[in-house]
Amino acid sequence: MKRNDIRNIALIAHVDHGKTTLVDGMLKQSGIFRENQKVDERIMDSNELERERGITILAKNTAVRYNDIKINIVDTPGHADFGGEVERVLKMVDGVLLLVDASEGPMPQTRFVLGKALSLNLKPVVVINKIDRPDARPYEVIDEVLNLFIDLGASDEQIDFPIVYTSARDAVAKYDLNDSGYNLKPLFDTIINSIPAPEGDVDGPLQLLVTNLDYDDYVGRLAIGRIIRGSITGGQQVSVVKKDGTVVKGKIGTVYQYESLKRVAAESALMGDIVAVSGIPDIEIGETIADVDFPEAVEFVEIEEPTITMSFSTNNSPFAGKEGQYVTSRHLRDRLYKELETNVSLRVEDTDSPDTFKVSGRGELHLSILIETMRREGYEFQVSKPEVIYKNVHGKRYEPIELLMIDVPEEYMGIVMEKLGPRKAELINMTPNDKGYIRLEFNIPSRGIMGYRTEFLTDTKGNGIMNHVFIDYQPYKGEIKQRNHGSLVASEAGTTTTYGLNNAQERGALFVGPGVEVYEGMVVGENNREEDIDVNVCKKKHLTNMRSATADEAIRLAAPKTLSLEEALDFLADDELLEVTPLSIRIRKKILSQKDRYKKAGKMVKSGQK
């Protein structure tokens, strides 16, 4: 049976190509808001971090009605680090809207998400967005998209994709650039006519694949997924097929369907519907809710493995417990393992130490979002420098390689090439455009990208754009020098003084200003040279009866460099940790005592280590 009253689609694209803004327009034109109702931009980005950063982190469900047809829409993240969100939600849909910026064209994440959609044999509709940009080049972009489909091995049917031109910001769609666009009707019509309707056995035994989880204060955990076969009703007895194949019995509480931005309780739902169900408290992503007498599992998409790892441990600095609400190893462990319930790309492992946990993810942003979320929830802990995960293939060491795409004004091309050479980047393509910019494409080890973004923005004076996505594992490319500057390390505990900081700032850039509490071993700045230097930033000027001609001149301190969480993670050396609390982030040495660090360094020199 075919459900012609429903269409299930996902919006996929590179970050910042306009998915969430387009959903805003679709929601508004479907008539769910009053004419005079004030509506925020990026309605779907409800998470606080999403609004701050302007990116989508979590996949979300909504639904609109058009000509009596319900269109279930899944808004997916565009950043490569949240690819796990994209991979699993694609199992809920029959087609995708591939959004491509009319100026930027296909980007690294465009390739990634399109490859996943094509491998699942989903029907694509190509949406060339931002046609109102002054530098838009829609026809060239269509050629680039076509080449991308061919490169990814798309079938003849998939290559014959419909094209719609849009300005998501103005909520306008066109079949042709010369058309007069007034609304999104051409986009709605293309979805109805091109995306296949759900097809399956409505009368067969129930199969519902759980692809997402949510939580409600009143009914507890909600399992979200698409009904592959049969129907489901509130109060129904079911079997839950676990990922390891075991079967447990359960009972459905309430069945919810999506209507615009709300979950609405429904008596039942049929094959093809995307629903949320309550009543099964220990349900997990990837499990199947099935008929009580026919517990058949639905195959779940395989999520790609993590490429980056770091350690999370309880805070043991002299300031431990002063600013956080949750500070013990039990708090930390419970929170990390709870994250596994919804963050399918994450891995958490216990270590030999009860206070330290190994956490692995898809990239630095993936892990930094988790860190930022936890600190806002009141957790206090410390993390190590991110490291790539190596693989052993036939006795050889393999490492993750990424496609790095950089757009820079031609005048900065030289410095970019110069900096990426020692990072083992291999130039594979160079494309100039008529705007004075040049696009450089590299294959580069994930190690080579770590710590480079801040340097890149400085070198290009903020005019450069860089994007990257994981390709595969390749043989180890050799040693990469990660940092050219050492740390300025506080040599004693106390409160920073203007006099002490003035002496220290001659050595490099400071991270702290006067009147800040510091402890021995805390990193207070970046040295101009490669080695670490211990500095006394709490030093006070001795009072004497002698006066010099400049004694009364005010000491001028440069403004301290305030590091963001990502910049602090990029700065970390192998022998340093990042102390994270709800109020502060501090870089520190793993060994706080200056004397103990010198002792260890002496032993390493004697044993021939560097």
Domains and their CATH numbers in the chain: 6-194 (3.40.50.300), 207-291 (2.40.30.10), 391-475 (3.30.70.240), 487-606 (2.40.50.250)
Determine what percent of the chain is predicted with pLDDT higher than 90: 45
Q: Is 321 annotated as a binding residue?
A: no
Please determine, for residue 1, whether its predicted confidence score (pLDDT) is greater than 60: yes
Beta strands 487-490; 533-535: pairing state: parallel
Give 550: exposed, middle or buried? Use CB within 10 Å, 0-12, 13-18, 19+: exposed
Q: Is 18 annotated as a binding residue?
A: yes
Beta strands 585-589; 576-580: pairing state: antiparallel
Q: Is 16 annotated as a binding residue?
A: yes
Burial call 109-138: b when 16+ CB within 10 Å, e when fewer: bbbbbbebbbeeebbbbbbbbbbeeeebbb
Q: What is the pLDDT of residue 283?
A: 87
Q: Is the dihedral of CA 284, 290, 296, 302 positive or negative?
A: negative
Decide if 590 contacts 383 (C-beta within 8 A): no
For the whole model, what pTM was predicted? 0.74
Q: Is 454 annotated as a binding residue?
A: no
pLDDT, tens digit (0-9, with 9 covering 90-100), for 106-122: 887 788 788 888 888 89
How far apart CA 479 and CA 437 sit, in angstroms, is 31
Q: What is the pLDDT of residue 27?
A: 82
Q: Is 331 annotated as a binding residue?
A: no
Q: Is 131 annotated as a binding residue?
A: yes
Q: Is 532 annotated as a binding residue?
A: no
Please determine, for residue 552, whether its predicted confidence score (pLDDT) is greater than 50: no
Q: What is the pLDDT of residue 475?
A: 94
Give 178: exposed, middle or buried? Use CB within 10 Å, 0-12, 13-18, 19+: exposed
Who's near 391: CB < 8 A, 6+ residues apart?
Answer: 397, 398, 399, 473
pLDDT, tens digit (0-9, with 9 covering 90-100), for 245-295: 899 999 999 999 888 777 889 999 999 999 989 999 888 888 899 999 999
Q: Is 20 annotated as a binding residue?
A: yes
pLDDT, tens digit (0-9, with 9 covering 90-100), for 419-439: 999 999 999 989 887 667 888
Please determine, for residue 50, whether its predicted confidence score (pLDDT) is greater than 50: no
Q: Is 101 annotated as a binding residue?
A: no
Q: What is the pLDDT of residue 48?
A: 56
Q: Is 545 annotated as a binding residue?
A: no
CA angle 411/459/310 to nearest 5° reads 140
